[in-house]
Amino acid sequence: MIKRTLPALSRASTIGWIGLGAMGHPMALNLFTKTYLAHQNAGSSVDDRRYVICEFDENRVSSFLSELKEKGGSELVGKVERVENGKEMAKIASRILTMLPSTPQVENVYLDSTSGILSGLKEISNDTVGDVEGNGNAIENISSSTTISSGSSEPASGSGSVSETTKTKPPLDSLTTISPLTTSSPPASSPHTLLIDCTTLSPTSALSIASRIHQDTSGKAMMIDAPVSGGTVAARKGELTIMFGSPSASITDLALPLLRTMAKEGRVVDCGGNGKGVGVKVCNNLILAINQIALAEGLSLGRSLGIDPGLLHNVINTSSGQSWSSRVNSPSPEIPGSPGERGYSGGFQTRLMLKDAGLALEAAAVLDLPIPMTWAAKSIYEAVCREDEGEWASKDFSIVYEWMKKKQSEGVERGWKADPTET
């Protein structure tokens, strides 16, 4: 077990990560490794940067550290400390990222009165922050005081625009260097803590939590919601799409370099204020949930009609029925690399899609918006999650195709509805 050694840490130069699950593990790997390599390539003789993790599962911690050592070496692993909760992390890290299951966990990690991040922030006075950081209360970061480049001599862009900065500041890789800008450090009134939550949660809750953080710390801690899309495959490659909601352009500037370590070039999208990033993600997953079921219905009908699965796959993907689900996430076992071919292991779990459908319905209910297809999709994913004594809940959500085949073999449709040819 890693033990925290508080005196060894400089708060201003410490990045923390909470949650090393299926998505958090590869995302934190990219963030830690690429940030570390960038500073190494910058040629600084002194690197006091540290990395902090918070994860209850010992197996997850061991797996993470083992892979981190493979990618970044023993020296990087030696810079990693471990804490027990968000409160402890808030005291020693100026930048904290979280990837958690859903709304209840986010509320607990950030707002719990005894162990939450906010409770730790409340114990940090300006003087204390200065003592821990040795640098006043400003965040030392690879953003407002640095520019990211891939060995290019291009001048740094001063714009906070995502569309412009992604052209001149590509994601970090092993060749990335960090060059100081000539601009001054952030003013003394700058926030001392940046919080980035990558969880997909309720949009209203995301806004409420951020507002509480901002208000209770008098703006000394600022929060961004930055959910991701692309699944575990893109997370490992560092090619996620990240859609974020930020309270201001200056906070966006602080967050962008960190987000780019985990995203595909040009795929970090500014969606507006707090809660808007999560809102975009929930809308996207609402559509995805319905599309995957529609694909399963079409493929099931095709199979029942005796149509060759490969032929149907190709026609769909060159016709108006195509979607991400049909191109990338086909349940047909005949399609190489498909979830169906690998027995639906890995991928985006059915229980998580059920959760996201519920979040969409929750958001719509607040707005009195009818979304009947989402209600139908949620009921189907609920049924899928109950199959095989709950085992299907952890399978890729495209397993809904197998659920339809199973219900067909059980003759369920004949019991549900009358002959559709009758009028």
Please identify every residue annotated as catalytic.
Answer: 281
User: What distances in angstroms separate CA 316 from CA 125, 235, 273, 303, 334, one per listed residue?
Assistant: 60, 27, 38, 14, 15
Residue length of the chain:
423
Rounded to the nearest angstrom, the gap between the alpha carbon of residue 122 and the centroid of all alpha carbons in its chain is 26
Query: What's the burial of 306, exposed, middle or buried (CB within 10 Å: 0-12/13-18/19+)?
Result: exposed
Give the other-Cβ count within 10 Å of 3's Cβ.
7
Please give the structure tokens belonging to residue 156.
């740094």
Q: Checking DSSP bridges between strand 14-18 and strand 50-54, what pairing results, if any?
A: parallel
CA atoms within 13 A on the CB side of 92: 24
Give the C-alpha separation, 276 to 270, whole Å.
9
Rounded to the nearest angstrom, the gap between the alpha carbon of residue 352 and the centroid of all alpha carbons in its chain is 13
Give the other-Cβ count within 10 Å of 311's Cβ.
10
User: What distances in angstroms separate CA 128 from CA 112, 191, 222, 263, 383, one per listed residue?
Assistant: 22, 14, 18, 34, 53
Give the C-alpha separation, 169 to 226, whole Å.
19
DSSP code, position 384: H
Query: What's the burial of 187, exposed, middle or buried (CB within 10 Å: 0-12/13-18/19+)?
Result: exposed
In degrees and rounded to multiples of 5, residue 206 shows phi and psi of -60, -45
Contact predicate 222/244, CB 8 Å: no
- Which amino acid makes up residue 316? I
CA atoms within 13 A on the CB side of 250: 11
Which candidate, 205, 224, 204, places its Cα nearest to that of 214? 224
H-helix or E-strand containing 204?
Answer: helix 203-216
